[in-house]
Structure 1
Amino acid sequence: MSNAVSALNSERHEGFVTVSEAGLVGMITIRSDQASKPLVKALKDLGLSLPPKRGITEAGGLVLAWMSPDELLLICPHDQAPAHTGALEAALAKTHALVVNVSDARALMHVRGARADEVMMKLSPADIQQLPAGEMRRTRFAQVPAAFWRSGREEISVICFRSVAAYVMGLLEVSARPGSELF
C-alpha cells in the first residue's frame, strides 16, 4: 500500500502574507436532505450541528461546511476520514443520501496575515471585507472553482480540487508577493 501525500507536500510561500498548503486533511462530501432526521442525528453524534446557509460549524476538531442546499463538507483529520465516512454511511443507509471520502481529491490551503483579505480580493468577486467569520463562499479563482472561509482572525482557508492545487497555489503566491499590496 502506498503512503498518502498531500497535493503540494505542504508547500509554503512568504510574501506580505504567508500562503501554505495544509498537508493531508480529511474531507467528506455529504449529499442529503439537510432537514432529514437521520442526518441531523448523525451530525449530533459527531458533536456537530447543521450549519446555516453558507455557514460553518465546528466542534472537537471537526469542521462542517454548508456547500449547497443538499451538500455539506466535513473536514477532519486525514486518518479519521475513513471512520467518519463509514459512520455516516451507516447512519444514512436508509435515507436518500450519498457520503463520499474526497480527501485525496481536494487540497486545503491557508492565507495567513494581517493583509490576507487583499490576496483574496485579487482572486474573488466576493466582498471579502464584509465576509464574516464562519461563512463559506464558493467562487472561481481565475479559471477554477474554489471555496473559502475566514478560519481565523487573520486567516482565510481555501479548498480546491487536487488537480488544480498547484495552479491555485500559484495564484495565491503571486497575489501575496511583496509590492503587490492593494492598500
Structure 2
Amino acid sequence: MSEPVSALKNAIYHDGIVKVSEVGNVGMITLRGDLAAKPLQKAAIAAAGVNMPDQGHCLTEGAGGMAWMSPDELLIMCAYADAHAKLADLQEKLAGSHALAANVSDARAMFEVRGPLAREVMSKLAPVDLSPSAFTPGMFRRTRLAQVPAAFWMPEEDVFRLICFRSVAQYVFDLLSIAAQPGSEVGVY
C-alpha cells in the first residue's frame, strides 16, 4: 500500500510577514443530517473528541475537532490514519438515522497562517471582517479566498487554519505567500 502524500508535500513559506505552511495530511469527515438530533450529536462528539460547536464556530483539541459548516453539516477533523475507522463508527452509529457521512480527507488541503500579521494576510484575500472585535479565536467562516471557496478559523490568536479543495491547493498557497510578501504590511490591525 502506498503512503499518503499531502497536496503540496508540507510546503512552507517563511520569508514574509507571516509563516504560511501546508499542515499535511489531516483526517476530515463531512457529516450531514439533523444537527439537533441526539444520536447525530452523540456520534459526532465521539468521533471528533470535542463538544458540538455553536453556529459559525470550530472547536479543536489536539488532532481532533469539529466545525459548524451549515445548518445541516459538520466537518469532523481527526488524525489522518483514524479517518476510515471514525467514518465506519459514525456510519454504524447513524445507520437508522437520516444522515450522510463521507471521508473527504484526500479531497481537501489544510494550511496554517501564523504570526502577528496573520489577520492582515487573510484580510487581503477574504471578504470577511477580521478585526479583533469581529473575528475571534474559535470563530469559523466559509467564504472565498480570492477566486476559490475556502473555510478558515483561528485556533488561537495570530493563527489561522484554512481548508480548501486539494485541486486548488497550489493556487491557495501561492495566494497566501504573495499576500505575505516582505513589505506588504497594510497596518490595519
TM-score range, shorter chain: over 0.9
* 1:125 alignment counterpart: 127
TM-score by length of 2: 0.93
1:45 Cα deviation after fit = 3.0
In the alignment, structure 1 residue 73 sits paired with structure 2 residue 75: yes
With 102-111 and 149-158 compared, the bigger mean Cα shift is at 149-158
Residue identity matched to 2:166: R
For structure 2, the 5+ residue unaligned runs are none
* 2:2 alignment counterpart: 2
Query: Following the alignment from structure 2 to structure 1, what is the Cα–Cα distance between the partners of residues 70 and 33?
Result: 10
Residue identity matched to 2:116: A
Residue identity matched to 1:116: A
* Partner secondary structure for residue 124 of structure 2: helix
1:59 Cα deviation after fit = 3.8
Alignment of 1:85-96 (within 5 A): 85-96=87-98
Query: Following the alignment from structure 2 to structure 1, what is the Cα–Cα distance between the partners of residues 158 and 168?
Result: 25
Alignment of 1:126-165 (within 5 A): 126-129=128-131, 130-165=134-169
Residue identity matched to 1:99: A
Identity over aligned pairs, percent: 51
Query: Following the alignment from structure 1 to structure 2, what is the Cα–Cα distance between the partners of residues 162 and 44?
Result: 26
Q: Give the ranges of 4+ consecutive aligned residues of structure 1 lying more than 4 Å apart after TM superposition.
A: none
* 1:32 alignment counterpart: 33
Contact 2:138 2:156 in 1 (8 A): no
CA RMSD, 1 decimal: 1.1
Pick from 55, 58, 66 the counterpart of residue 56 of structure 1.
58
1:60 Cα deviation after fit = 5.4
The C-alpha deviation readout for 1:16-46, integer Å capped at 9, x for no partner, is 1000000111100001100112111213434
The C-alpha deviation readout for 1:69-120, integer Å capped at 9, x for no partner, is 0000011110011111111111111111110000000000000001000000
* Partner secondary structure for residue 128 of structure 1: coil
TM-score by length of 1: 0.96
Residue identity matched to 1:34: L
Query: Following the alignment from structure 1 to structure 2, what is the Cα–Cα distance between the partners of residues 48 and 96?
Result: 22
* 1:180 alignment counterpart: 184
* Partner secondary structure for residue 159 of structure 1: strand
1:2 Cα deviation after fit = 2.1
**How many correspondences in the alignment?**
183
Residue identity matched to 1:5: V
* Partner secondary structure for residue 139 of structure 1: strand
1:57 Cα deviation after fit = 2.1
Q: 1:60 to 1:174 in 2, by over 3 A?
A: closer
